[in-house]
Homo-oligomer: A and B are copies of this chain.
Amino acid sequence: MADSATARRSRITPEREAELYEAVLDLLREVGYDALTMDAVAARTRSSKATLYRQWGGKAELVVRAVRHTKPGPVDGIDTGSLRGDLHALVARDDDCTIERNSALMRGVAMAMHNNPDLRREFRDQLIEPEMAEFRRVIQRAVDRGEVRPDCPALDFLLHMMVGGFATRALLDDQPPTRAFLTSYLDAVVLPALGVATP
């Protein structure tokens, strides 16, 4: 990452950065986004507020960076030769315990973003877009292989399909999306919509 936030953070060690993100996530789980203050983060991590603002710019950026820190790395290694294989491998990166923990965090942040335009922008730019970019790379390879037609109408709705599968269960069913659930959803909805036959 060569963005400005990384440049600003360059003077702290990766270990200190990870420690700080863990403290932010603990606070987020304890009090939620709206009640989380930079004062509390500063106290919990024995930092100065000035340092936090200088390094991250603000609460929205700090919280989203902390959530992003929990995500698995990029999927450059995934290339199974079929779209179904790649999508299943994407979902299999996390175990159910990690999915559940991340899902609770994402939900808390997603709920708070309704009243926070800053948070909404950070959430979209730092969490949704990187995930979707990976997803789109996997799909593009399927288009290049001829597995998915380049004019398939579902290509315009990748984000909507994925949010439907990943978020609906957490929001309405009060259940985290398990790997088994996500795999079934990919086979039942996403692959058929993309015109890929599933067994």
**Which residues from chain A sit less than 8 Å from chain B, CB to CB?**
32, 107-108, 110-111, 114-115, 120, 124, 128, 153-154, 156-157, 159-165, 167-169, 171-172, 174, 184-185, 187-189, 192-193, 195, 198
Evaluate whether A114 and B111 lie within 8 angstroms (CB atoms) in the complex, with A159-B172, A189-B157 already known. Answer: yes
Indicate if the CB atoms of B169 and A189 lie closer than 8 Å: no
The 3 closest A-B pairs by CB, nearest first: A164-B164, A153-B188, A111-B114
Indicate if the CB atoms of B120 and A189 lie closer than 8 Å: no
Min CB distance A20 to B, Å, is 25
Min CB distance A136 to B, Å, is 15
Q: Report how far A159 CA is from B58 CA in the complex, Å.
A: 36
Q: Which of B124, B154, B169 sits near A192, CB closer than 8 Å?
A: B154
Copies of the protein in its oligomer: 2
Cβ contacts A to B, 19 pairs, < 8 Å: A107-B114, A111-B114, A120-B174, A153-B188, A154-B188, A154-B192, A157-B188, A157-B189, A159-B172, A160-B164, A160-B165, A161-B189, A162-B164, A163-B167, A163-B171, A164-B168, A167-B167, A192-B192, A192-B195
- Interface SS majority for chain A: helix
Indicate if the CB atoms of B156 and A184 lie closer than 8 Å: yes
Indicate if the CB atoms of A184 and B120 lie closer than 8 Å: no
Indicate if the CB atoms of A169 and B160 lie closer than 8 Å: yes
Q: Report how far A107 CA is from B156 CA in the complex, Å.
A: 23
Q: Report how far A40 CA is from B68 CA in the complex, Å.
A: 40
Give the chain B neighbours of A164 by CB distance below 8 A: 157, 160-165, 168
Q: Which residue of B lies closest to A114 (CB)?
A: B111
Indicate if the CB atoms of A189 and B185 lie closer than 8 Å: no
Given A163-B167, A192-B195; 16 other pairs, CB 8 A cutoff:
A107-B114, A111-B111, A111-B115, A124-B172, A128-B172, A153-B187, A153-B188, A154-B192, A156-B184, A157-B189, A159-B172, A160-B164, A160-B168, A160-B189, A163-B163, A188-B193
